[in-house]
Structure 1
Amino acid sequence: MIHIEFIEYDASHSDDFVFDIPEGHDCWLLLLTQTPAIFLVDGDYREYPSNCAILYRPKQKIYYRACAEKYANDWIRFYTDETYVTTTPIRCGVPFMIRDPLYCHKIYQLLVTEHVFNNNFKDITIDNLLRILFNKLLESYNYKAVSPLFKNLNELKLEIYHNPNIEWTVSKMADKLNISVGYLEDIYKSAFGVSCMDDVINSRINLAKKYLVYDNYTIAEIVTLCGYRNMEHFFRQFKKITGLTPNQFRKSPYQLYKKEENPNKINNI
């Protein structure tokens, strides 16, 4: 069972903000920082960067303060007897970097919504959202080699998938992050398990599949829209990833079924 006492996202404070609760709360406290902050950890005051998470168990001493022009975070205080919280391997009272802060922030927004509105399945939804949040935090906690540039890498990955038609090169991507080509290739593969150029290819093929299924563009038009300058190159990469040619993909029974299920389709009445 989960019972939320208080929850807030985008909480913001001035540069003199200090949160000092020597006896701790009666409940659990989970913070996600959006700015750098100083935490008391093992008797020492240590500065941590933005996009860290820290979990406090009930009755645990709490101390943190701003160390920049402002302090901002998402936070939740809650009671629970769920084992995914009470037996979590996350070390309480010690901040750690979050691999995907935007994803976790969105979960906080959803939790706030569910907490405010008295929906029929409110308790179940809150429990499921908190489980997802803890899963995402565990992914970060167990990922020992998180790069300080992960936020920048995540933004780069999102930009690649939002704009696959751009003429991406490793040099152009490295320049955006102001790092060397070799370093970008190493940390991108380490962070996402795929090279940055393979991600470019995947983003282009994903877009091509969407156009093939839901639009009436010609193959030649799709080649250009997906950022290819050579039709042969596009066909080769599409076949390698999907196992089909673009024409076969467009005509396959599964894709025809998907077209019929397209929610954007307008039927003539």
Structure 2
Amino acid sequence: MYEVYYGGISKVHPTGFMMSRPNGAGHYVILLIRSGGTYNIAGCEKIVPPGSAVILDPKVPYSYSNPKGQYIDDWLHFTFEGENLISKKLLPLNTFFQISDIEDPATLLGQVLFEMSYTKNADIQRDNIDCLMNVLMNHLYSAYTMQDDPRYKNPFYPQFQALRLSMQGGNFDDISMARKAESMSISVSYFQHLYKDFFGISYQKDVIDMRIEYAKRMVKSTDNKIELIAKLCGYSNEIHFYRQFKEITGMTPKQYKELNS
């Protein structure tokens, strides 16, 4: 169970700001570092780049600032009882690590603060905060364990993840590789290379597989006409849809529905 005390989102500290806690904060502290800065933790000084995170021990002395200008971060003070990734020593304390997309944990942190301020039912508030904190910790643990993965360090990885997640949800309205590459300001060949490198499959084959997987769910669970299902899966030609469906599943949509009804 987590007890959350206070926090902030995208807090901008002016040039010359320094946070110094020689006796620690008295709580665990999550810092999502947006601007970068110079940190001193228990006498060890370190220059930390933007897009980093750290969880500080309640008793560790620390200070930080950004000598180059404004210091910007998201932060949360909390304690906990029971077992979690920190108590299991899977998520280390006082250790900086990189986060591919800082907005993911920042969104969760912000939702925790929202629950603190605006959920009036105490039981619901406690349950929601516990759930959100567990998800936040899992996100931080994932970032910590993946920080040395070359994909995770690539600035295009979050965009490709978002694209693939969108298609997995059945969004096939505009999946032209040329337009996707243009939206990222990269060449089509580099787009193809990155996609295969990130996911181990070519963009073209992945699109076909996801279209047919989505079509299988629609055929199995709805009474929509095949013409509509083909359109929802991004096919402008119903005959082309039939051919690809049978090529991948080994049966026609009608046969698939009868087999799975």
TM-score range normalised by the length of the shorter chain = 0.7 to 0.9
Shift in CA distance, 253/197, structure 1 to aligned 2, threshold 3 Å: closer
Superposition deviation, residue 29 in structure 1:
0.6
1:59 is matched with 59
Larger displacement relative to structure 2 (35-44 or 137-146): 35-44
1:165 corresponds to 2:173: yes
2:158 is matched with 151
Judge conservation of contact 1:223–1:229 (CA < 8 Å) in 2. Answer: yes
Gaps of 5+ in 1: 255-269
Q: Residues 149-184 of structure 1, C-alpha deviation per residue, up to 9 Å, x if partnerless?
A: 133333433554574122422x44333333455554
- Amino acid corresponding to residue 142 of structure 1 in structure 2: T
TM-score by length of 1: 0.71
1:266 is matched with none
Superposition deviation, residue 87 in structure 1:
3.3
Superposition deviation, residue 139 in structure 1:
1.6
**How big is the alpha-carbon RMSD for the aligned residues of Structure 1 and Structure 2?**
3.6
Q: 1:42-53 to 2 correspondence within 5 Å?
A: 43-50=44-51, 52-53=52-53
SS at match of 1:120: helix
Shift in CA distance, 245/40, structure 1 to aligned 2, threshold 3 Å: farther
Gaps of 5+ in 2: none
- Amino acid corresponding to residue 98 of structure 1 in structure 2: I
TM-score by length of 2: 0.73
1:126 is matched with 129
1:37 is matched with 36
Supply the distance in 2 between the matched residues of 1:242 and 1:58 (Cα, whole angstroms).
Answer: 56
Q: How many residues align?
A: 250
Q: Residues 120-146 of structure 1, C-alpha deviation per residue, up to 9 Å, x if partnerless?
A: 244344333222222222222111211
- Amino acid corresponding to residue 76 of structure 2 in structure 1: I
Q: 1:6-155 to 2 correspondence within 5 Å?
A: 6-8=6-8, 10-16=9-15, 17-33=17-33, 35-40=34-39, 43-50=44-51, 52-66=52-66, 71-83=71-83, 84-99=85-100, 101-116=102-117, 117=119, 118-143=121-146, 144-145=148-149, 146-149=152-155, 150-155=157-162
Supply the distance in 2 between the matched residues of 1:53 and 1:240 (Cα, whole angstroms).
Answer: 47
- Amino acid corresponding to residue 134 of structure 1 in structure 2: M
Supply the distance in 1 between the matched residues of 2:63 and 2:46 (Cα, whole angstroms).
Answer: 9
Supply the distance in 2 between the matched residues of 1:201 and 1:82 (Cα, whole angstroms).
Answer: 46
